[in-house]
Structure 1
Amino acid sequence: MYEKINSEILEAKEQLRKKERIDGLLQHAIEQLDSEKHREAELKEILDKEEMDVKKLEHLSVKGLILEVLGSKEERLDKEKREFMAAKLKYDECCNSIKLMEAEMKDYKAQLREVSNAEIDYEALIEKKQKLILESKDKYSNEILSLMEEAADLNSDITEIIEAINAGSTVLGSLESAKDSLSEAEGWGTLDIFGGGFISSSAKHSNIDEAVEYINAAMSNLNRFKRELKDVNLDINITIDIDSFDRFADLFFDNIFTDMSVQDKIESSLENVASSIDRVKEVMEKLRGDCDAKEIQLKNLKHKIKDIIEQARD
């Protein structure tokens, strides 16, 4: 039952390996070509300089006449010409190398077009044989079904972790913006304490208002983040707070004690936000680690299923 399709899978896998090998060669050629083009630009710069040095000596000038009288012009010209020729040989060799690499890449691309459907053909045959195995309910079917269920669970876990990571990124964006606004407010606040006046007070409170808006957004996003984390069996304990500020007393009355009080609140809120950022980043790092680990598990499971399908015999 499996003899014909096994033969087809073997042929498809050979084509797939050929495609992977050529693709690897192409990527290596692309890297080499980029490096050689960078080298070409450097050599062209050297060549242009050497050519300019030769032309300067060939054209008579006050300096050229002096050199000629001193009997050294021809020696200098000969030296510059040798350096020019050496630079030209290197440049020409590099240009020729680039042409060969481009021809090589063209050949690799042509070869890739011949096996462009190798992966699709292989996957289609594996799927076809998997269907045959599952329908036959033979000794391979139970093992494959069990592994498929495990793979489905892992895929679901990965989806949930990615959703949590996306939610965390949104929280981080709001917190970073709040941190920037509070940092600016802190700067204006320091100036305000030392007599910055109306402009510094206005700027400071404008930044505070921005920070409050960002923190309100972060609070909303944080609630979603916490919900997503529960889906992946993680929890996070973060509270974000920003003190209310007595804007009018600070803005219209020259009172250093009020200014200092507001400055203390800004600094306290800034520390709170910075701490929240660190905590979210810590959780995000764990999420990414879990996601990477599960993706490796899923990849290994899929390989295991394919191995069983490939090796299945009548």
Structure 2
Amino acid sequence: MENRLIELKKEILFCEKQKSKLDDLVKRNDELVGLIEAQRKRWEKEQRDVDKLENGSLTSFFLQIIGNLDKKIEKEEIEALKAKEIYESTKHEIESTKKQILAMKDQVDKLYDLNKEYNILWIQKEEKLLKSNTSTKEQYEKYIDKIASLKSIDKELKEAVDAGKILLKELYKAKEKFESAHSWGVFDMFGGGLMSSMIKHDHINEANDIINNVKSLIKKFERELKDVDIEIDVNITTFDKFGDIFFDNIFSDMMVQDKINNVLGQVKSGILCVENKVKDLEKAILNNKIEIDVLDEKRVSLVEMV
């Protein structure tokens, strides 16, 4: 006789597939119900247009005079027929969908009882396995330990990804500010005057504030990466204040512009580096999940076969 736990699992998987189909059917039914009223009104309108022409409206009178009445009636009848066909088709699909929903609902309603029975039997079988002194028990415990270890790594990987994304957000802010400072710096070099120089330095100051925050975020990201044995080297310096506002000449402007370009280059390199690390982390999370799923299936199989 087939193992009851395996039998239950098959029934549960079947019901879960039915539930997915049921959800799709309910969604489709809602869409159809939303369409059918408009389709009915369109059909009735098209039919009214035909009736008006056939019953001697003012429009039909003029069409009859110019000899186009029959053609117009034929055209309107075709449109009314198409509208009716669309309406009838939707109506039929709604009726069919409702029948399928009712049939599937009976199957899906079994899920709760099936899962309940499965869980009770699972606990009994697991207890029986853990009380035994077999190689199966040893293998089962190895799977549990390995899965726990991988889940711990998964948590650390996700924390590192979160830290990386927060860091990237600030790096992009700094990039935006230094790019604005660069644009104003170009304008300043070609005679923008005191106002452009002040705006440029406002952007530099705002970028420096962001960079100071970036530095602490880099340290946090480095700590998270260390937990998962990954290294990173991101070096970003703050922009040293330079008094070109007070020394308005092409040489001071060029020196400031060179410093802006230098820090902007560091920020861009930092963004590229962090983005690559985040991608590596996300790939590691995916691989980790696959390994956990495989081990978990093996663990479950051991209990099911008891």
- The aligned residue for residue 167 of structure 2 is 171
Mapping of residues 260-271 of structure 1, within 5 Å: 260-271=254-265
Judged with a 3 Å threshold, the aligned counterparts in structure 2 of structure 1 residues 277 and 114 are, in CA distance, closer, same or farther, namely same
The alignment partner of 1:208 has SS state of: helix
Cα distance in 1 for residues equivalent to 2:270 and 2:48: 63
Q: Is the 8 A contact 1:242 1:269 kept in 2?
A: yes
- The aligned residue for residue 299 of structure 2 is 305
Cα distance in 1 for residues equivalent to 2:85 and 2:27: 23
CA-CA distance at 1:52 after TM superposition: 11
Cα distance in 2 for residues equivalent to 1:196 and 1:222: 36
**1:224 and 2:220 correspond:** yes
- The aligned residue for residue 249 of structure 1 is 244
Match of 2:178 among 179, 182, 195: 182
CA-CA distance at 1:82 after TM superposition: 1.1
- The aligned residue for residue 17 of structure 2 is 21
CA-CA distance at 1:73 after TM superposition: 3.5
CA-CA distance at 1:297 after TM superposition: 0.8
Cα distance in 2 for residues equivalent to 1:189 and 1:105: 67
- The aligned residue for residue 208 of structure 1 is 204
The aligned amino acid for 2:226 is K
The alignment partner of 2:255 has SS state of: helix
- The TM-score normalised by the length of structure 1 is 0.81
Cα distance in 2 for residues equivalent to 1:180 and 1:109: 55
- The aligned residue for residue 121 of structure 2 is 125
**1:292 and 2:286 correspond:** yes
The alignment partner of 2:131 has SS state of: helix
Judged with a 3 Å threshold, the aligned counterparts in structure 2 of structure 1 residues 307 and 224 are, in CA distance, closer, same or farther, namely same
**1:280 and 2:277 correspond:** no
Q: Is the 8 A contact 1:154 1:294 kept in 2?
A: yes
CA-CA distance at 1:200 after TM superposition: 3.4
Cα distance in 2 for residues equivalent to 1:104 and 1:210: 62
The alignment partner of 1:194 has SS state of: helix
The aligned amino acid for 1:311 is M
The aligned amino acid for 2:145 is E
Cα distance in 2 for residues equivalent to 1:126 and 1:189: 70
Q: Is the 8 A contact 2:244 2:256 kept in 1?
A: no
The aligned amino acid for 1:231 is D
Q: Any unmatched runs of 5+ in structure 2?
A: none
Cα distance in 2 for residues equivalent to 1:242 and 1:223: 15
CA-CA distance at 1:37 after TM superposition: 7.5
- The aligned residue for residue 80 of structure 1 is 76
Judged with a 3 Å threshold, the aligned counterparts in structure 2 of structure 1 residues 83 and 27 are, in CA distance, closer, same or farther, namely same
CA-CA distance at 1:309 after TM superposition: 1.4
The alignment partner of 1:140 has SS state of: helix
CA-CA distance at 1:245 after TM superposition: 3.4
Cα distance in 2 for residues equivalent to 1:119 and 1:179: 53
CA-CA distance at 1:176 after TM superposition: 1.5
Q: Any unmatched runs of 5+ in structure 1?
A: none
Cα distance in 1 for residues equivalent to 2:175 and 2:48: 57
Cα deviation 1:139-181 (Å, max 9, x = unaligned): 4211111222222221121111111111111111111121222
Judged with a 3 Å threshold, the aligned counterparts in structure 2 of structure 1 residues 309 and 84 are, in CA distance, closer, same or farther, namely same
The aligned amino acid for 2:209 is E
Cα distance in 2 for residues equivalent to 1:226 and 1:52: 73
Q: Which moved more, 1:151-160 or 1:12-21?
A: 12-21
Mapping of residues 28-107 of structure 1, within 5 Å: 28-29=24-25, 32=28, 40=35, 44=39, 47=42, 51=46, 54=49, 60=58, 67-102=63-98, 104-105=100-101, 107=103
CA-CA distance at 1:129 after TM superposition: 1.4
Q: Which moved more, 1:113-122 or 1:299-308?
A: 113-122
Identical residues among aligned pairs (%) = 28
- How many residues matched? 301
- The TM-score normalised by the length of structure 2 is 0.82
Cα distance in 2 for residues equivalent to 1:188 and 1:51: 64
The aligned amino acid for 1:296 is I
Cα distance in 2 for residues equivalent to 1:204 and 1:109: 66
The aligned amino acid for 1:268 is N
Cα deviation 1:9-63 (Å, max 9, x = unaligned): 245324312322212322443565587689x49x859948x849948x95646xx
**1:148 and 2:138 correspond:** no
Q: Is the 8 A contact 2:3 2:305 kept in 1?
A: no
Cα distance in 1 for residues equivalent to 2:61 and 2:296: 80
